């Protein structure tokens, strides 16, 4: 057996909490609960439900604790002003906690807006065994809404001289640059959406489109699908309704970029480490 050297012993790091999303509570008896109270579109997390009469939606299990999304009635605030909007929570929580909060907001908002059938106006019922609201009169089912959106990091060049295309959107809340993004159209492939959105937003062509990863984005119900792509030609011409500015940046001269748990930042970080 080879000798064991201290510098080869892996650093001990806490195991991140594991969240298992579920539709129905399992038969287990939970000794702990976690309630994500949805106050408008803000969240307040507590280990007790502020009012047992309020509608609660089972979200899943986090390290053995049952997690619920609670619909706080309009005009009430059990947090006394301490509820946090998802944008702020995004910057000061763990990725797991933020994803759970986003799941709570999306499911509560979906249930709020699908109490009646969109076809015949009859009251709907929560379908057993699945996340859907079903109309007992006409049978129409409504599932939680998800809007797929692509986000891509476009690069050009090779090695240390390689550059990434980053853009500042007209609706960005803070002055930063990020990857290009846009919604997928009906009947469109994800790769086709990448090519079209890049062309529409900054006027260039891309090739070698490769899927990278995904991230739920509850603003209000997007699913971000991350891609990498390579520059194929054209000059940057920004769509002024979408993009304020777009530039090519080297690894050693980046502008302000998104925070660490966003998929945009993860795409950029992966590129920084790929040199």
Residue 45 belongs to a domain with what CATH number? Answer: 3.90.79.20
The closest of 19, 220, 17 to 102, measured between CA atoms, is 220
- Which CATH number goes with the domain that contains 244? 3.90.79.10
Is 141 inside any structural domain?
no
Read off the pLDDT of residues 71-107 as tens digits, 9 standing for 90 and up: 999 999 999 989 999 988 877 888 899 999 999 999 9
Provide the whole-model pTM.
Answer: 0.85
- Based on the fold, state whether residues 87 and 192 are members of the same structural domain: no
pLDDT at 179: 99
What number of other Cβ atoms are within 10 A of residue 81's Cβ?
A: 8
pLDDT at 7 over 80: no
Higher pLDDT, residue 181 or 5: 181
Is 11 inside any structural domain?
no
Higher pLDDT, residue 23 or 15: 23
Is 266 inside any structural domain?
yes
**Percent of the chain residues past pLDDT 90, beyond the cut:** 80
- Based on the fold, state whether residues 151 and 108 are members of the same structural domain: no
- Based on the fold, state whether residues 73 and 152 are members of the same structural domain: no
pLDDT at 275: 74
Contact in structure between 98 and 263 (CB atoms under 8 Å): no
The model's confidence at residue 150, banded by pLDDT at 50, 70 and 90, is very high
Is 142 inside any structural domain?
no
Domain boundary among 94, 113, 132: 113
pLDDT at 87: 85
Is 5 inside any structural domain?
no
Average pLDDT along the chain:
92
Number of C-alpha atoms within 13 angstroms, CB side, residue 93?
A: 19
Is 6 inside any structural domain?
no
pLDDT at 69: 98
The closest of 103, 120, 119, 100 to 111, measured between CA atoms, is 103
In the chain, the number of structural domains is 2
Instruction: Say which range, 18-32, 43-57, 109-123, 128-142, has the weakest mean pLDDT.
Output: 18-32
pLDDT at 10: 36
- Based on the fold, state whether residues 167 and 234 are members of the same structural domain: yes
Domain that holds residue 55: 19-113
Is 138 inside any structural domain?
no
The model's confidence at residue 194, banded by pLDDT at 50, 70 and 90, is very high
- Based on the fold, state whether residues 151 and 249 are members of the same structural domain: yes
The model's confidence at residue 26, banded by pLDDT at 50, 70 and 90, is confident
The model's confidence at residue 1, banded by pLDDT at 50, 70 and 90, is very low
- Based on the fold, state whether residues 251 and 209 are members of the same structural domain: yes
Domain boundary among 113, 138, 158: 113
- Based on the fold, state whether residues 179 and 267 are members of the same structural domain: yes
Residue listed under structure tokens 């007209």: 170
- Based on the fold, state whether residues 181 and 225 are members of the same structural domain: yes
Is 30 inside any structural domain?
yes
pLDDT at 11: 43
At residue 24's C-alpha, the angle toward residues 261 and 143, to 5°, is: 70
- Based on the fold, state whether residues 173 and 72 are members of the same structural domain: no
Domain boundary among 93, 113, 133: 113
Which helix (H) or strand (E) covers residue 133, if one does? strand 133-134
Residue listed under structure tokens 């970029």: 257
**Percent of the chain residues past pLDDT 70, beyond the cut:** 94
Cα R_g (the chain), whole angstroms? 22
- Based on the fold, state whether residues 104 and 161 are members of the same structural domain: no
Read off the pLDDT of residues 199-246 as tens digits, 9 standing for 90 and up: 999 999 999 999 999 999 998 899 999 999 999 999 999 999 999 999
- Based on the fold, state whether residues 199 and 102 are members of the same structural domain: no
- Based on the fold, state whether residues 46 and 99 are members of the same structural domain: yes
């Amino acid at each position: 057996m080879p000798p064991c050297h201290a510098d080869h012993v892996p650093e001990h790091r806490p195991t991140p909490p594991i969240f298992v999303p579920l539709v129905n509570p399992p038969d287990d008896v939970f000794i702990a609960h976690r309630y994500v109270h949805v106050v408008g579109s803000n969240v307040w997390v507590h280990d007790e439900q502020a009012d047992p009469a309020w509608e609660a939606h089972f979200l899943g299990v986090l390290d053995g604790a049952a997690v619920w999304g609670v619909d706080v009635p309009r005009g009430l605030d059990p947090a006394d002003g301490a509820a946090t909007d998802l944008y702020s929570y995004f910057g000061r929580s763990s990725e797991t906690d933020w994803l759970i909060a986003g799941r709570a907001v999306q499911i509560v908002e979906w249930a709020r807006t699908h109490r009646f059938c969109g076809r015949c106006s009859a009251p709907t019922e929560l379908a057993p065994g699945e996340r859907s609201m079903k109309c007992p009169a006409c049978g129409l089912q409504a599932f939680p809404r998800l809007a797929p959106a692509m986000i891509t990091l476009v690069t050009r060049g090779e090695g240390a001289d390689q550059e990434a295309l980053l853009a500042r959107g007209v609706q960005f809340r803070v002055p930063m640059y990020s990857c290009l993004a846009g919604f997928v159209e009906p009947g469109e492939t994800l790769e086709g959406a990448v090519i079209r959105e890049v062309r529409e937003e900054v006027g260039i062509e891309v090739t070698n489109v490769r899927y990278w990863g995904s991230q739920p984005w509850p603003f209000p119900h997007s699913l971000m699908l991350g891609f990498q792509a390579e520059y194929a030609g054209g000059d940057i011409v920004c769509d002024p309704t979408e993009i304020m500015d777009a530039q090519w940046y080297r690894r050693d001269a980046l502008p302000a970029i998104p925070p660490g748990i966003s998929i945009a930042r993860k795409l950029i970080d992966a590129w920084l480490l790929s040199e």
